[in-house]
């Protein structure tokens, strides 16, 4: 499931730019948001558990 979310849905390794003036800018922003989510998932799954504090402030 994670591979599908990170690879297909978020299109993490794809280009986020969408041509088309103002409408393209909106689509670019949305695509960049999906990439951000994919990158955050990968980052959080790769953090060693020893780096996570038990009681964050």
Task: Write out the chain's pLDDT in tens, 57 residues.
Answer: 999 999 999 999 999 999 999 889 999 999 999 999 999 999 999 999 888 877 656
Smallest CA-to-CA distance from 36 within 9, 2, 18 is with 9
The residue extents of the domains of the chain are: 2-51
| Residue matched to tokens 């996570």 | 52
Question: Which pLDDT score is estimated for 29?
Answer: 95
Q: What is the pTM (predicted TM-score) of this model?
A: 0.77
Question: Tokens standing for 39?
Answer: 């990158």
SS3 28: helix
């Amino acid at each position: 499931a994670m591979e599908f979310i990170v690879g297909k849905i978020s299109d993490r390794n794809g280009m986020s730019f969408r041509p088309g003036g103002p409408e393209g800018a909106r689509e670019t922003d949305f695509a960049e948001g999906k990439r951000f989510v994919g990158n955050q998932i990968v980052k959080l799954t790769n953090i060693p558990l020893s780096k996570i504090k038990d009681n964050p402030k």
